[in-house]
């Protein structure tokens, strides 16, 4: 009888400890999931900011070109020149942030080619304005 009561208490203690351990494991798993989700959210925000920077670079180039075409004054080319100088770094940053995604890498390569085409067009119009006034 004493032995049976002792075994019952041991079994009850082992069961309670198992439940406590299971609860701890579930909390750790949930914490890890929440931390992973937060890291992905931060990564997504970095990619969005890098994408916005690339867009801003192109917009600045167009703004500078437009200002110069309208006025013929060289200082209006400053945004254009700055954009041309920073475009490669902005694209490289976006490539680095998306290195784990081949689909995004392909889209970035296409975007880079389109930006290069646009900047060539802007360069030609600037040269034409300089030459013909």
State the greatest distance between any 2 C-alpha atoms of the chain, in Å, as a whole number. 110
Give the separation between CA 88 and CA 95, rounded to whole angstroms: 10
The pTM (predicted TM-score) of the whole model is 0.73
Half-sphere exposure of 25 (CA within 13 A, CB side): 6
Give the separation between CA 32 and CA 59, rounded to whole angstroms: 40
Please give the pLDDT value at position 117. Answer: 97
Give the separation between CA 108 and CA 74, rounded to whole angstroms: 31
Give the separation between CA 20 and CA 32, rounded to whole angstroms: 18
- At residue 133, the 3 state secondary structure works out as coil
What is the full per-residue pLDDT of the chain (133 aa) written as tens digits?
556 777 777 777 777 777 778 778 778 887 788 787 888 999 999 999 999 999 999 999 999 999 999 999 999 999 999 999 999 999 999 999 999 999 999 999 999 999 999 999 999 999 999 998 7
């Amino acid at each position: 009888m004493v032995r049976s009561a002792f075994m019952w208490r041991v079994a009850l203690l082992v069961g309670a400890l198992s439940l406590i351990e299971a609860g701890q494991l579930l909390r750790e798993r949930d914490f890890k999931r929440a931390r992973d989700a937060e890291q992905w959210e931060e990564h997504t925000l970095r990619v969005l900011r890098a994408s916005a920077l690339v867009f801003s670079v192109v917009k600045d180039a167009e703004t500078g070109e437009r200002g110069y075409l309208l006025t013929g004054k060289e200082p209006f080319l400053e945004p254009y020149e700055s954009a041309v100088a920073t475009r490669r770094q902005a694209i490289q940053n976006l490539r680095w942030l998306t290195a784990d995604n081949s689909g995004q890498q392909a889209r970035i390569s296409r975007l880079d080619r389109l930006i290069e085409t646009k900047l060539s067009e802007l360069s030609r119009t600037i040269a034409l304005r300089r030459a013909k006034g």
